[in-house]
Amino acid sequence: MKKVIFWTSLIALFFCLFETAILSHIQIFTAWPEFILILVIYIAIHNGTAIGTSCGFISGLLLDLMSLSPIGLHSFLFTLIGYIIGILHRKYNLNKIIIPATLTLISIGLKVLIVFVLSIFGKNIIIYDISKWQFWMQTGVTVIFAPIEFAILNLFLTALKAEEF
C-alpha cells in the first residue's frame, strides 16, 4: 500500500506541475485533460477504496496547493471519487476503451454535482457552468484521453497496484 501511495504521489506531483506550470500558460490549449482525476480513477479501480481514498486525498491536496482553488476542495472531491470508484474494484474488465472513458465521464458528473452542493454552503466555491462550451470541451478531452492515460499507467502496473493476499 505504501508503495502505491508513494508512486501515485510522485505521478500526481508531476501532473500538478505539468497542468499548473505548463499547460495553463500555453494559449493554444483552451482545454486539457484532467490528468489527476484520471490517475485517481485508475488507482481506485485497480486497488479498491482504501488506496483510492488515500491517493485521492494526497493528489487533491497537491492540486489544491498548486492552484487557486480553496484548500481542501480537490482533496475532498478526489477522496470521494476515489472511494466511489474504488467500490467497483474487480468488477469490470479494464482492458477496453469504453470502461475508462465511462468511469471518467461518471467521475466528472460526480465532481460537478459535489461542487454544486458544496457551493450552497461555501461562497468561495465557483460552480461549473455546464452551459459553456469550454466545460464540454474539457470534459470531452478528458474522456477521450482517459483510455490513453490508462494504457500508459498500465506500463507501470507493478508500481501502481497493491499486492493482494
**Per-residue pLDDT for 164 more than 70?**
no
| Residue located via cell numbers 479498491 | 48
pLDDT, tens digit, for every residue of 113-163? 999 998 888 777 788 888 888 899 999 999 999 999 999 998 888 888 877
DSSP string, 44-74: HHHH-HHHHHHHHHHHHHHHHHHSSSPTTHH
Top pLDDT among 90 and 153 is at 153
pLDDT at 79: 97
- The span from the CA of 43 to the CA of 46, in Å, is 5
pLDDT at 50: 94
pLDDT, tens digit, for every residue of 123-134? 777 888 888 888
Q: Which of 18-32, 72-86, 126-140 has the highest mean pLDDT?
A: 72-86
The percent of residues in the chain predicted with pLDDT above 90, rounded, is 55
Residue 14 pLDDT grade (very low, low, confident, very high; cuts 50, 70, 90):
very high
Residue 28 pLDDT grade (very low, low, confident, very high; cuts 50, 70, 90):
low
| Range 90-97 average pLDDT | 76
Query: Any idea where the domains of the chain sit in the sequence?
Result: 2-160
Contact 6, 156 (CB under 8 A): no
pLDDT at 81: 96
Architecture in CATH for domain 2-160 = Orthogonal Bundle (1.10)
**pLDDT, mean over the chain:** 88
